[in-house]
Amino acid sequence: MSEPNVAKEPGPQGEESPVAYSPSPDEKKKREYKEFGHDEEKPTHANVDMSLIELKAEDLYDKEKVDLETIVIEDVFKLLQCDENGLDTEEAHRRIELFGPNKLEQEEQNAFLQFLSFMWNPLSWVMEGAALVAIVLSNGNNQPPDWEDFIGIVLLLFINSAIGFYEERNAGNAVKALMDSLAPKAKVKRNGSWLEIESSELVPGDMISFKIGDIVPADCRLTEAINVSIDQAALTGESLPQSKKLGDQCFSGSTCKQGEAEGVVISTGANTFFGRAASLVGQDDDTTGHLQKILAQIGSFCLVSIGIFVIAEILVLYAGFRYSYRRGLNNILVLLIGGIPIAMPTVLSVTLAVGAQQLAKHKAIVTRITAIEELAGVTILCSDKTGTLTTNKLTIDKATIRTYGPFSADDVMLLAAYASRTENQDAIDSAVVQALGDVARARAGIKLLDFKPFNPVDKRTEITYREESSGKLKRVTKGMTGIIIELCSRNKTEELENRLEADVEEFATRGLRALAVAYEELDGQDPEGEGNGFELIGLLAIFDPPREDTKQTIDDALALGVKVKMVTGDQLAIAKETGRRLGLGDHMYPAKVLKDGPAPGSKHLSLDEMILDADGFAGVFPEHKYEIVKRLQGLGHLCAMTGDGANDAPALSRANVGIAVEGATDAARGAADIVLTEPGLSTIVHAIRGSRVIFQRMRNYSIYACAVTIRIVVCFAILAFAFKFDFPPFMVLIIALLNDGTIMTLSVDRVLPSMTPDSWDLAEIFSYAVAYGIYLTASTVALVAIIMKTTFFYDKFGVTFNGNPSPSSANDYQLHMIVYLQVAIISQALIFVTRSHGFFFMERPSVALLGAFCIAQLVSSIIAAYANFGFTQIQAISGGWIGIVWVWNIVWFAPLDWIKFAMKATVIKRLRERHEAAQAEQASTGVPITRTQSRAASIHESLYSNRVSFIRRAARKVGFGSKITMKPEELQRFSSIQAQRTGATLARNPSRTAAA
């Protein structure tokens, strides 16, 4: 760059602001530049109200009274029986047996018990009861036990359980592999040499090393610290990185933001600050989810339907018709086997598992499968700002650069880049240099003579360099506004200071951090010599810019009916500025309103109303996130929450869908339901869209399953009552088996996602099911009635029953086969009606579904034509009868779509109007009509949890509760207690070498 001179045009100046106060001539005003975050610059204290969230050292040790205040680092080495050369391999192995691995305990699930758990729910219990009936109770009337039905029922149970277990185990192993691949590493000194190991292998007494960007692998005391700054926000919620010096404590899970350090490990695993606080405070840990509730209610519908008709059959068949014990029992078995949608939890589980694999293509790893169903119904997404809505990378806002004097905005940028490190940069230096576009320009044309990096005392950087084109020595400094303006002597006038103060305040109100730049020339050739006086040349605005795709993604989310709320730990001004840039809105509140409530006279009557109306919240801590989620759920919303730190775990666990964003800590990933492996909000919106496709598949199956239950129990009960028709139970098993094979393919069916959040309207599902079930019952009863009461089919088509125009009785074996074929075909065909919103032929099914249906019908027709099973009451029928049944079913199938449309125009319409009226009443009164909880505690609902649990939460013991911050002196005491306890354990268990 050539020498900047006065001929250059000044850059954008910004708006002049009126001067609020003029100093008297005798008294020079001491200006305080209300720079953004200026009051937070103390290196060892966060701007946090510690009284709100506080633990004491003794709290983490079971309330024992501890008087110890601090232990010096020399005593730590004595207690831990180690030195700065670290441990040897043998001693490290001994200590890992003594103290355990450096990780929190995770519950491993026994594979055999996991398989058996698929048979532990009310639907399976009924089938298991039917199996017992077949083998234990079905031996009356001098007949042997019903081995065929028993084997068939057990086979059906095992097939469903095996499919569910296979999908769940595969997905669980995939997620475990992902988590294992993310296992953190640690640099440790063993046998006097530095090497890298998994952090889980660390033990107390190990010497560890970490540098900028590393995660501290265990609680330690520093033995060497070079300009170290540690971010403990993920653990304690402290908003600013904390400076650390020799002897200070650092905690597992915190991040090194600056410098390099070595330390001695004083505590690992469950005895770390993180482990102690997690076990003390606990978390929201009920495990029954939203889908389990739905399964419980659908299961109850089916069980009640079956129960009513089983009781009716007992009364009618035994008391009325005086059936023998075994004959009546066979009829009851038909209802139990055919009516129970035994495959329902497995079908839904497989649908979700396949969906999870599809979501993985969008970089969303599902760790709790039922979260997919809940994501489809999410109405509010509470998103972090940093790294999700924004890039989490500081940037210079070139459009707002202010210049003072003859330098242009480009000159100011270049000179600021001179005063920045090009290697081992902090975030601000990196932002300034990157803003040049070509980073090589930061050192082009100059020779570096002296550089002073940023430090917490001077709060500025400074470079002295020789300009190669002129040979002149020059000096540039950049840093905090108040510091830089005090250095300036050449152009510091009252007018300039007024302008600077106004510009800094404007930046602060917009959430922009100000960085001042000054420049001077040196007269001689001594780089340490005095210059001609610094001149203020410019003011840079630093901010975290929105991601490129965020605005479009938010628009997409709104189009899907999902409101996005920003929930950030940053200050209100930053949140509002980001909201404005994203079109998210700036109607945001500080977190303190969650405690204080709406101000008197405000437009909000209640805190719930304020939370619902807000575009976001700023300055939040973990307990605030938890409170926001809890209140939104109390208003009937399904809520998704993003997070990345261990302190987000309670809110992630409480939310209907907890989402750990890319780069989240192990603790956050453990508490989350979905782990993102790609940054940004777009991945979440892709996941929402995908989950709605999956939801449609599950809804379609649920209508089908309930309809088939009604169809089986009503149909065969009526046939038994009207004609004393005894259908063989084994053939119902065949129908169920073929149905299950076909319906599994629904997991890959072609469906369109809805444009509004999905919800389980069970009244609607049951209404459709009853209508379809009764209609299909009529199709079977009509066929049997015509065959029994007339000779219509013999007269028209010449078909017979073993040469006779009519069946010999209501229990003619060929009539049984005709009923089997009719029920099997039209029941499966119903799926094409339930899966479509319009005419069934307007929405093309997947190739897998269509292929499975055709194969099942081919098998059914072959059984009808050739099966003469000696152990059950059926006999093969002629091709003529098979053709008649197919034509009969096609004729009855055609009006099914019109039944669907009639239901939509009448019953369903009234149900939706009633639902909308209830919602309107809720909106007008502000009184919640329904309360949706993330983890229900109902015993009945929990019985379904194992059938659809995908994997156990990766680390349930990772959530903090509301009070998780400690005062610095308490942290120091805690560190000393850790060292003392570890030393006591080692003293009780001395090593053999020490003993020698």
> Is 473 strand, coil or helix?
strand
Question: What tokens appear for 624 in the block?
Answer: 């605030």
Q: What is the distance between the terminal CA atoms of the chain, rounded to a whole angstrom?
A: 70
Backbone angles phi, psi at 713, to 5 degrees: -70, -40
Strand locations in 150-269 (E): 185-190, 193-198, 207-211, 219-231, 242-244, 249-250, 255-267
How far lies 745's CA from each of 339, 613, 847, 995, in Å? Answer: 21, 42, 9, 67
Cα atoms in the Cβ-side hemisphere of radius 13 Å centred on 297:
13
Residue at 451: amino acid letter: F
Alpha carbons within 13 A on the beta-carbon side of 20: 4
CB 641 within 8 A of CB 633: no
Structure tokens at 687: 């996941």
For residue 854, the 8-state DSSP code is H
The 8 Å CB, 24+ separation contacts for 839-848 are 839/897, 840/896, 840/897, 843/750, 843/751, 844/750, 845/749, 845/750, 846/745, 846/748, 846/749, 846/750, 848/745, 848/748, 848/749
| 605 SS3 class | coil
SS3 state of residue 992: helix
Contact 376, 757 (CB under 8 A): yes
Neighbouring residues of 877: CB distance < 8 A, sequence distance ≥ 6: 814, 817, 818, 821, 864, 865
Catalytic residues: 384
Report the relative pairing of strands 616-618 and 588-590 from DSSP bridges. Answer: parallel
Q: Where are the alpha helices (DSSP H) in 835-952?
A: 847-866, 879-893, 896-903, 909-925, 939-942, 945-948
DSSP 72: -
- DSSP three-state, residue 869: coil
Find out whether 658 and 674 touch, Cβ atoms under 8 Å: yes
Measure the CA–CA gap between 820 and 719, rounded to whole angstroms.
Answer: 13
The single-letter code of the amino acid at 171 is A
Residue 322: count other Cβ atoms within 10 Å of its Cβ.
Answer: 8
- H or E element at residue 78: helix 73-79
Q: Using an 8 Å Cβ cutoff, are 274 and 966 in contact?
A: no
- Pairwise CA distance, residues 270 & 339, whole Å: 50
Q: Which burial class, exposed, middle or buried, applies to 105 when counting CB atoms under 10 A from its CB (0-12, 13-18, 19+)?
A: middle
Q: What is the SS3 assignment for 496-561?
A: HHHHHHHHHHHHHHCCCEEEEEEEEEECCCCCCCCECCEEEEEEEEEECCECCCHHHHHHHHHHCC
The answer to whether the CB of 379 falls within 8 A of the CB of 563 is: yes
Number of H helices and number of E strands within the chain? Answer: 35, 22
Q: Are 565 and 382 in contact (CB under 8 A)?
A: yes
Cα radius of gyration rounded to whole Å, the chain: 37
